[in-house]
């Protein structure tokens, strides 16, 4: 950002260098705030935490209401009393979420590094807040802002839509007219705000060259500096004529899980949001630990799934060790010269495997709990022996 | 005393150069390489340094796979004299010995990337010895079995050298069949030429060595070398002795020479003028003593001024000033339309979500 502003002062487009790939609104924001950058990032983090706190508070109310409704409708099996969430245990969850975000070492690291990921996180947090509060207009605006910043929150359109539909009590059937009507409304709000934002950015610099520099950069991954993601190593050793194909494959991988998850998790859009956030932060082209911090902040919301999680020990070990090994192997590779990129990429792979394991574990635990809620805790097969639930 | 000094400065040259070329390749032309290396050895022995010798050998005999005595090139049978040794500096080797390169060396038209060892950096006070050997015919000399240089080209090259003032005097020796045809066309001044055979005659080789299996030397060069072995840097032998070197009885061919272009009398030309190296010496009659306090050189700066110059980087700007420096004014400002549009949008969003009723609180 500093380089972009310096280039602007020299009278050149800030995207003419190869470093600056942020949107013009960031230019505008930091034009005035660059001297107070530390304060800005601290305030952003605090805002994110506050937004998450308010969002989860509202979400808890929604969950509780829904639970009450389902109990009264006798949808639950008789012996699942221990699985039902009580207000007592849910009282501290919003505070835990805010604390998880603020005290996460990843958040602290990205704040100290003054990474613009903090701004991304705060926009997404406000989007979540707006969605859970039920305001379609604000949520569309914030989602457009998040998409405008980095392309991947586009996939969060589906969970937000599902949540808003649920809130309006519109049933999700493909033939239903009101479903399509609401979807069109929301989609048009979202697209209009996106278009307005892009045109506004055009007026800032009077040129369209921010589009290839921001979105072309995210999609075509030209810069292969090592990060904690999966793209750089692959594309560093790939032949030129395959790179287009693999770029497409990798990018589709991010957007690919939306529709299957939407079909599976249409009753639980906020969990869908959480899984989608995690998938974005694993498979995006330039992930940072700030993205990891954002979805990890949601883990207390599903602390009631603890009894169904199977890999807690391995996961926590993998994540903690990888976080420590990242700087060690980086130092060995770049400064000491006694390792090579394979070492660092191995840790990247392990870290991402750990994250994927985390999400799949939570996913399985969630589905299992839902199944137990409707079918009772003690599952029996047809012949009466004890049955085990398996994720296929 | 004056005669002696006159004699000292008799010839007009101040430095010596030698260009020694062997133009044939293949193992059975061993003798040509041996010829050139023998002349190289003599010339070095008599004082010309490697930096002033351009040695061009078209093939590598010492490390030739057919050489039963590797790393050696003998010029006498029974392996009496190894002219290869361990301080031979070949400047142009193997396929670099071409007519083009040879002419470029002579005329000085070489690409700027050529190293110094491959250049003939002579000036108008240089005496140059040019020795060529190989297979030749009437008016030409064969290079590398694929091209030849004609006597006309050679004469023109020498004329270029004369016009560019690249030599003071030039001695041209050639040991090939019909070698005299090569110096027939010279027309530049100050050139003396010697050849091993007349037009229509062949130069013959001297001795085969049964251990190595090839002829080791050519006759003419063999006897020239015998003659040169008796020359030392201070000898007064002149060119006329060199002309007598290989009579027909020993050489079978008739050696020839040409001196009409040369301005001095060959009687007065020393062998060491061309084969040896001259060091310019100046004799003075007065003595110079070097004193510590030389009057006339005053220090330009008075002593007091030197100590007060600011020497340290840290002293350049007071620290207090640096801390409170104002940020430099920025040159770029966002356009007014953008700011207006952005804030209008933000206000619109705010009022849309929270209702118009807040307007009255704002205003």
Q: For A194-223, how does the pLDDT look when each residue is reduced to its tens digit (9 = 90+)? A: 999 999 888 888 888 889 889 999 888 888
Confidence of residue A91 (pLDDT cuts 50, 70, 90): confident
Decide: A147 and A247 in contact? Cβ < 8 Å. no
CA count, 13 A, side-chain hemisphere, B301: 7
Q: Per-residue pLDDT for A385 more than 80?
A: no
Do the Cβ atoms of B345 and A138 come within 8 Å? Answer: no
Quick one: pLDDT at residue B306? Answer: 46
Å between B359 CA and nearest CA of chain A: 19
Q: Look at residue B103 in the predicted model and tell me its pLDDT.
A: 94
CA separation for the pair B242, B42 (Å, rounded)? 14
Q: Which domain holds residue B251?
A: 11-275
| CB pair distance less than 8 Å for B332 and A9 | yes
B26's torsion region: left (phi>0), alpha (psi -120 to 50) or beta? left
Lowest-confidence range among A41-50, A57-66, A223-232, B279-288?
B279-288
Position B303 scores a pLDDT of: 47
Query: What's B184's domain CATH number?
Result: 3.40.50.1460
Chain B residues with CB inside 8 Å of A35's CB?
327
CB contact under 8 A, A11 and B331: yes
- Helix locations, chain A, DSSP H: 2-9, 24-33, 37-72, 87-90, 93-103, 105-112, 117-133, 136-149, 157-167, 177-205, 210-211, 217-220, 231-236, 240-256, 258-264, 269-283, 289-296, 312-330, 341-375
Structure tokens at B61: 């005999």
- Chain A residues within 8 angstroms (CB to CB) of chain B: 5, 8-11, 25, 27-28, 31, 35, 135, 137-138, 141, 196, 200, 203-204, 206
Does residue A14 form part of some domain?
no
Contact A31 B349 (CB under 8 A): no
State the catalytic residue, choosing from B22, B177, B246, B251. B177
pTM listed for this prediction: 0.58
Count of domains in chain B? 1
- Confirm whether B13 is a catalytic residue: no
Rounded to a whole number of angstroms, the distance from the CA of A276 to the nearest CA of chain B is 27
Contact between B75 and B34 under an 8 Å Cβ cutoff? The reply is yes
Chain B residues whose CB is inside 8 A of the A9 CB are 330-332
Q: Name the residue in chain A with its Cα closest to that of B341.
A: A200
Q: What is the 3-state secondary structure (H, E, C) of B54-95?
A: EEEECCCCCCCCCCCCCCCCECCHHHCCECCCCCCCCCEEHH
Q: Are A300 and A96 in contact (CB under 8 A)?
A: yes
Residue percentage of chain A with pLDDT more than 90? 45
Alpha-carbon gap: B347 to the closest alpha carbon of chain A (Å): 12
| pLDDT one-digit tens code per residue, A234-288 | 888 888 888 899 999 999 988 989 999 999 888 889 999 999 999 999 998 889 9
- Per CB-CB distance under 8 Å, the chain B contacts of A203 are 335, 337-338, 341
- The predicted model gives A318-333 an average pLDDT of 91
Whether B288 is in a domain gets the answer no
Q: For residue A4, what pLDDT is reported?
A: 86
| Structural domain includes residue A281 | yes
Average pLDDT over chain A, rounded to whole? Answer: 88
Cβ contacts of residue B11 below 8 Å, gap of 6+?
B127, B169, B264, B269, B270, B273, B278
Contact B334 A206 (CB under 8 A): no
State which residues form the domain around A66: 35-375
User: A137: which chain B residues are within 8 Å (Cβ-Cβ)?
Assistant: 349, 352-353
Residue B229 covered by a domain:
yes
pLDDT tens for residues B273-297?
888 886 656 677 877 777 665 555 5
* Closest chain A residue to the Cα of B335, Cα to Cα: A204
- Domain membership of residue A384 (yes or no) is no
Is A193 a domain residue? yes
Q: Pick A204's closest partner by Cβ from B327, B334, B349.
A: B334
DSSP state of B218: B
> Average pLDDT of A102-128?
93
* Residue-level pLDDT at B6: 58
Query: Is B232 a domain residue?
Result: yes
Q: B145 to chain A, minimum CA–CA distance in Å?
A: 48
Asked whether residue B244 is assigned to any structural domain, the reply reads yes
Q: How many separate domains does chain A show?
A: 1
Q: Quick one: how far is CA B194 from the chain centroid?
A: 24
Is A21 a domain residue? no
With CB atoms and an 8 Å threshold, state whether A28 touches B352: no
Q: Which residue of A has its CA nearest to B328?
A: A9
Q: Note whether A200 contacts B338, CB cutoff 8 Å.
A: yes
> Is the Cβ of B327 closer than 8 Å to some Cβ of chain A?
yes
Tell me the percentage of chain A whose pLDDT exceeds 70. 98
Q: Look at residue B36 in the predicted model and tell me its pLDDT.
A: 92
Residue B175 resides in a domain: yes
Q: Which residue in A5, A11, A200 is closest to B342 by CB distance?
A: A200
Sign of CA dihedral A367, A370, A376, A377: positive
Contact A5 B332 (CB under 8 A): yes
Which residues of chain B does A28 touch, with a Cβ-Cβ cutoff of 8 Å?
334, 338-339, 342
Whole-number Å distance between alpha carbons of A263 and A179: 15
Mean pLDDT of A340-356: 91
- The whole-angstrom distance between A173's CA and the closest CA on chain B is 29
* B192 backbone dihedrals φ, ψ, rounded to 5°: -115, 135
Residue ranges of chain B whose pLDDT lies below 50: 300-307
Q: Distance of CA A195 to CAs A296, A344, B350, Å?
A: 31, 40, 19
Mutation to test the B interface, candidates A33, A34, A138, A201, most B Cβ within 10 Å: A138
Region of residue A338 (phi > 0: left; psi between -120 and 50: alpha; otherwise: beta): alpha
Q: Is residue B226 part of a domain?
A: yes
Residue at A3 is within a domain: no
Cβ-based neighbours of B197, under 8 Å, separated by 6 or more: B176, B177, B178, B179, B180, B203, B220, B251, B253, B254, B255, B256
Q: What is the pLDDT of residue A78?
A: 76
């Amino acid at each position: 950002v500093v380089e972009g502003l310096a280039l602007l002062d020299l009278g050149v487009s800030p995207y003419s260098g190869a470093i600056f790939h942020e949107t013009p609104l960031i230019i505008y924001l930091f034009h005035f705030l660059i001297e107070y950058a530390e304060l800005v990032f601290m305030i952003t983090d605090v805002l994110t935490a506050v937004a998450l706190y308010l969002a989860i508070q509202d979400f808890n109310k929604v969950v509780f209401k829904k639970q009450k409704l389902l109990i009264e409708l006798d949808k639950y099996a008789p012996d699942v009393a221990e699985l039902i969430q009580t207000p007592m245990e849910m009282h501290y969850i919003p505070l835990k979420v805010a604390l998880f975000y603020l005290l996460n070492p990843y958040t602290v690291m990205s704040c100290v590094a003054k990474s613009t990921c903090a701004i991304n996180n705060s926009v997404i947090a406000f989007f979540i807040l707006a969605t859970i509060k039920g305001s379609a207009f604000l949520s569309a605006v914030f989602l457009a802002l998040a998409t405008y910043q980095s392309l991947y929150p586009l996939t969060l359109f589906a969970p937000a839509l599902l949540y808003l539909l649920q809130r309006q009590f519109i049933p999700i059937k493909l033939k239903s007219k009101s479903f399509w009507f609401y979807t069109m409304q929301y989609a048009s709000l979202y697209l209009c705000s996106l278009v307005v934002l892009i045109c506004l950015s055009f007026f800032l610099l009077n040129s369209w060259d921010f589009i290839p520099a921001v979105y072309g950069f995210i999609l075509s991954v030209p810069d292969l500096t090592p990060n904690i993601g999966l793209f750089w190593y692959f594309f560093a050793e790939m032949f030129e004529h395959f790179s287009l194909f693999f770029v497409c494959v990798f990018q589709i991988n991010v957007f690919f899980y939306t529709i299957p998850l939407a079909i599976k998790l249409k009753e639980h859009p906020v969990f869908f949001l959480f899984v989608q956030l995690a998938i974005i932060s694993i498979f995006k082209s330039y992930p940072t630990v700030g993205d990891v911090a954002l979805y990890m902040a949601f883990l207390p919301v599903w602390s009631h799934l603890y009894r169904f999680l199977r890999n807690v020990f391995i996961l926590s070990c993998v994540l903690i060790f990888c976080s420590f090994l990242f700087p060690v192997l980086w130092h060995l590779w770049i400064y000491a010269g006694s390792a090579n990129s394979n070492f660092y990429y191995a840790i990247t792979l392990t870290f991402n495997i750990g994250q994927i394991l985390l999400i799949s574990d939570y996913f399985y635990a969630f589905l299992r709990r839902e199944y137990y809620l409707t079918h009772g805790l003690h599952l029996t097969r047809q012949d009466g022996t004890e049955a085990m639930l398996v994720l296929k | 005393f004056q005669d002696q000094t006159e004699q000292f400065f008799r010839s007009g040259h101040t430095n010596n150069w030698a260009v020694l070329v062997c133009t044939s390749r293949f193992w059975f032309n061993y003798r040509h390489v041996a010829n050139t290396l023998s002349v190289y050895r003599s010339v070095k022995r008599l004082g010309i340094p490697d930096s002033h010798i351009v040695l061009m050998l078209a093939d590598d005999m010492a490390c030739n796979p057919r050489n039963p005595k590797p790393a050696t090139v003998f010029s006498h049978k029974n392996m009496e004299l190894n002219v290869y040794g361990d301080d031979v500096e070949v400047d142009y080797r193997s396929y670099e010995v071409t007519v083009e390169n040879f002419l470029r060396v002579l005329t000085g038209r070489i690409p700027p990337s050529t190293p110094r060892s491959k250049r003939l950096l002579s000036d108008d006070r240089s005496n140059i010895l040019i020795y060529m050997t190989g297979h030749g015919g009437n008016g030409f000399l064969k290079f590398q079995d694929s091209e030849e240089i004609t006597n006309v080209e050679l004469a023109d090259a020498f004329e270029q050298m004369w016009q560019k003032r690249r030599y003071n005097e030039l001695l041209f020796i050639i040991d090939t069949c019909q070698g005299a045809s090569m110096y027939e066309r010279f027309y530049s001044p100050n050139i003396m030429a010697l050849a091993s055979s007349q037009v229509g005659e062949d130069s013959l080789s001297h001795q085969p060595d049964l251990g190595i299996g090839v002829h080791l030397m050519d006759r003419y060069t063999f006897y020239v070398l015998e003659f040169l072995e008796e020359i030392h840097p201070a000898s007064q032998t002149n060119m006329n002795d060199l002309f007598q070197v290989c009579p027909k009885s020993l050489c079978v061919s008739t050696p020839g020479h040409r001196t009409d272009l040369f301005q001095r009398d060959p009687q007065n030309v020393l062998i060491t003028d061309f084969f040896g190296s001259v060091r310019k010496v100046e004799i003075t009659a007065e003595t110079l003593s070097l004193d510590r306090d030389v009057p006339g050189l005053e220090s330009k700066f008075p002593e007091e001024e030197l100590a007060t110059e600011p020497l340290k980087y840290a002293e350049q700007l007071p620290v207090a000033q640096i801390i409170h420096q104002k940020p430099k004014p920025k040159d770029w400002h966002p356009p007014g339309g953008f700011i207006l549009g952005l804030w209008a949008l933000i206000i619109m969003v705010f009022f849309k979500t929270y209702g118009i009723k807040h307007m009255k609180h704002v205003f």
